[in-house]
């Protein structure tokens, strides 16, 4: 038993390091929008579309990388994902055309993120820990991703100011290679098959037949829309309104710092109270915070308060959402089913970041997208109220398909 505990702890530590590196590098992409677009003579829509495609590719590939991790273990998937991530950053630094930026920042980094972030790693953690500790363990790993966002953002800005955007991306590519040996050391093993386990096809059919699963997917769409729009476009929004570039960087760093508290607390609370009801309140509060930020007078202080408040709510949805999937459907296909839910998160991310760039180029402001983000908070809150986290009762064991 002690060996199992040591193995689980090591897996949590390694998974936390992987996800903090991957999410930390990604969190600074919004800082590149203005200098890169200005130097290359693009509108913000070009860079925004590349990052929108990144989120879409990340989401579309996530169910497949999740299914592979469920079957073969997470280590191999993380190694390949880390390699693609580093190559994407390298090629992004060399890109001076729209196509090059789209392929590097969009396709390669999107594929890399799908193998190095939440669905793959949380699936491995969910299989390794006891059910009563699962929500807290997922909160710890999610909090590590938040710490990476906080810790690496000032470094990203420093690289950008010191080296310029191209050389800064090369340095980030070198940092991304750390993921490869970390993934190789992560000794995750797939769950042993039992006679009661569903085949992959049956697991998909079972999830598709549950209304709560689709409500969870739609709610996570809203999360993706809001957080990626804010992460990418907030520095530009603040700069347009007369605030210094350093204010935007500080706000994103505050998001990462307070997200550590928010995600850990959400994971802990999810082990005590109803996860769907917690998500309902989380989205309602998020809508109020966005509304206050947009409609009250803007200043550095109000921007910092927004960063703190949004940080507490930022990725708090992740351990709760994945915890619901694990509670309802079990852990045998957790990475794959979590990947499907995450696909909707990334569809929302695509829409949020792309619409931000589209409406900015069209109107010169972000007002329409801020208003959409507020309305979507109310919708997401209502959707989660009707979700049950009660485990499904399977009347008959299903024959395992090979």
Sign of the CA dihedral 323, 325, 327, 332? negative
**Same domain flag for 171 and 216:** no
Q: Is 400 a domain residue?
A: no
Q: Is 300 a domain residue?
A: yes
Rounded to whole angstroms, the Cα distance separating 366 from 356 reads 6
Last residue of a domain, one of 138, 159, 188: 188
Phi, psi of 170, rounded to the nearest 5 degrees: -60, -45
Q: Is the pLDDT of residue 269 over 90?
A: no
pLDDT category at 75 given cuts 50, 70, 90 is confident
Question: Looking at residues 269-273, what average pLDDT do you find?
Answer: 82
Q: Is the pLDDT of residue 307 over 80?
A: yes
Residue 400 pLDDT:
43
pLDDT category at 112 given cuts 50, 70, 90 is very high
Q: Is 68 a domain residue?
A: yes
Rounded to whole angstroms, the Cα distance separating 289 from 219 reads 18
Q: Is the pLDDT of residue 398 over 70?
A: no
**Same domain flag for 225 and 134:** no
**Same domain flag for 44 and 98:** yes
Residue 247 pLDDT:
86
Question: Looking at residues 359-377, what average pLDDT do you find?
Answer: 88
Residues 6+ apart with CB under 8 A from 130: none
pLDDT category at 319 given cuts 50, 70, 90 is confident
Mean pLDDT estimate for the chain: 83
Question: Looking at residues 361-374, what average pLDDT do you find?
Answer: 88
Question: Looking at residues 307-327, what average pLDDT do you find?
Answer: 85
CATH number, domain of 385, equals: 1.20.1250.20
Residue 3 pLDDT:
42
pLDDT category at 204 given cuts 50, 70, 90 is confident
Write out the two tokens for 231.
């992460």
**Same domain flag for 365 and 323:** yes
Lowest mean pLDDT among 38-52, 76-90, 175-189, 310-324: 38-52
Rounded to whole angstroms, the Cα distance separating 251 from 248 reads 5
Question: Looking at residues 233-239, what average pLDDT do you find?
Answer: 85
Rounded to whole angstroms, the Cα distance separating 80 from 183 reads 9
CA 37 to chain centre: 25
Q: Which of 180, 82, 81, 74 is nearest to 123 (CA)?
A: 74
Residue 84 pLDDT:
96
**Same domain flag for 15 and 145:** yes
More confident position, 79 or 395: 79
- Between the two ends of the chain, the Cα-to-Cα distance in Å is 30
**Same domain flag for 152 and 9:** yes
Q: Is 20 a domain residue?
A: yes
**Same domain flag for 363 and 271:** yes
More confident position, 242 or 80: 80
Distance set, CA 152 to CA 218, 230, 252, 253 (Å): 31, 18, 11, 9
pLDDT category at 231 given cuts 50, 70, 90 is confident
Residue 190 pLDDT:
62
* Percent of the chain whose pLDDT exceeds 90: 23
**Same domain flag for 76 and 212:** no
Q: Is 344 a domain residue?
A: yes
**Same domain flag for 4 and 115:** yes
Write out the two tokens for 363.
């109107």
Question: Looking at residues 141-163, what average pLDDT do you find?
Answer: 80
**Same domain flag for 212 and 103:** no
Question: Looking at residues 336-343, what average pLDDT do you find?
Answer: 82
Q: Is 395 a domain residue?
A: no
Residue 293 pLDDT:
93
Q: Is 193 a domain residue?
A: no
Residue 186 pLDDT:
81
Q: Is 397 a domain residue?
A: no
Name the most confidently modeled range: 259-273, 275-289, 328-342.
275-289
Provide the 10 A C-beta neighbour count for residue 244: 11
pLDDT tens for residues 114-136? Answer: 999 877 887 788 777 777 677 77
* Percent of the chain whose pLDDT exceeds 70: 92
Structure-derived torsion over alpha carbons of residues 343, 344, 346, 347, reported in degrees to the nearest 10: 120
Question: Looking at residues 141-145, what average pLDDT do you find?
Answer: 75
Rounded to whole angstroms, the Cα distance separating 271 from 101 reads 42
Q: How many CA atoms lie within 13 A of 110 on its CB side?
A: 26
Residue 345 pLDDT:
86
Q: Which of 294, 28, 344, 285 is nearest to 161 (CA)?
A: 28
Last residue of a domain, one of 140, 161, 188: 188
Exposed / middle / buried, residue 204 (Cβ in 10 Å: 0-12, 13-18, 19+): middle
Largest pairwise CA distance in the chain: 64
Last residue of a domain, one of 135, 164, 188: 188
Number of domains in the chain: 2
Residue 274 pLDDT:
87
Q: What letter does residue 105 receive in the DSSP assignment?
A: I
On whether the CB atoms of residues 339 and 119 are closer than 8 A, the answer is: yes
Provide the 10 A C-beta neighbour count for residue 305: 17
Question: Looking at residues 210-215, what average pLDDT do you find?
Answer: 85
Distance set, CA 265 to CA 24, 227, 375 (Å): 20, 19, 26
Instruction: Give the domain range for residue 165.
Output: 1-188
**Same domain flag for 207 and 129:** no
Rounded to whole angstroms, the Cα distance separating 352 from 224 reads 7
**Same domain flag for 159 and 206:** no
Question: Looking at residues 43-65, what average pLDDT do you find?
Answer: 82
């Amino acid at each position: 038993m002690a060996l199992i505990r040591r193995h689980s702890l090591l897996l949590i530590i390694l998974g936390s390091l992987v996800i903090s590196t991957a999410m930390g590098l990604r969190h600074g992409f919004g800082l590149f929008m203005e200098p890169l677009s200005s130097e290359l003579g693009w509108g913000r829509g070009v860079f925004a579309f590349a990052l929108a495609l990144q989120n879409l590719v990340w989401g579309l590939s996530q169910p497949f990388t999740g299914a592979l991790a469920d079957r073969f273990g997470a280590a191999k998937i993380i190694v390949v994902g880390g390699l693609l991530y580093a190559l994407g950053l390298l090629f992004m630094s060399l890109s001076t055309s729209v196509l090059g930026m789209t392929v590097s920042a969009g396709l390669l980094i999107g594929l890399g993120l799908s193998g190095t972030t939440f669905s793959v790693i949380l699936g491995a953690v969910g299989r390794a820990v006891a059910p009563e500790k699962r929500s807290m363990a997922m909160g710890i790993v999610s909090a590590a991703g938040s710490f990476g966002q906080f810790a690496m953002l000032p470094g990203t800005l420093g690289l950008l100011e010191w080296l310029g955007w191209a050389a800064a991306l090369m340095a980030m590519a070198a940092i991304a290679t750390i993921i490869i040996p970390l993934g190789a050391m992560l000794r995750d093993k797939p769950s042993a098959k039992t006679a009661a386990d569903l085949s992959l096809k049956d697991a998909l059919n079972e999830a598709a037949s549950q209304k709560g699963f689709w409500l969870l997917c739609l709610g996570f769409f809203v999360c993706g829309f809001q957080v990626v729009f804010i992460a990418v476009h907030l520095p530009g929004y603040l700069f347009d309104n007369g605030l210094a570039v350093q204010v935007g960087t500080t706000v994103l760093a505050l998001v990462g710092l307070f997200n550590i508290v928010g995600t850990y607390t959400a994971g802990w609370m999810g082990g005590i109270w109803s996860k769907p009801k917690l998500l309902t309140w989380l989205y309602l509060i998020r809508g109020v915070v966005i509304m206050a930020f947009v409609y009250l007078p803007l200043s550095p202080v109000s921007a910092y308060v927004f960063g703190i408040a949004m940080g507490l709510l930022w990725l708090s949805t992740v351990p709760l959402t994945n915890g619901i999937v694990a509670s309802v459907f079990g852990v045998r296909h957790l990475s794959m089913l979590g990947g499907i839910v995450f696909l909707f998160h990334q569809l929302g991310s695509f829409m949020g970041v792309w619409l931000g760039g589209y409406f900015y180029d069209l109107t010169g402001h972000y007002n329409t997208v801020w208003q959409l983000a507020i309305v979507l908070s109310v919708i997401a809150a209502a959707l989660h109220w009707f979700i049950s986290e009660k485990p499904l009762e399977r009347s008959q064991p299903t024959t395992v398909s090979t």
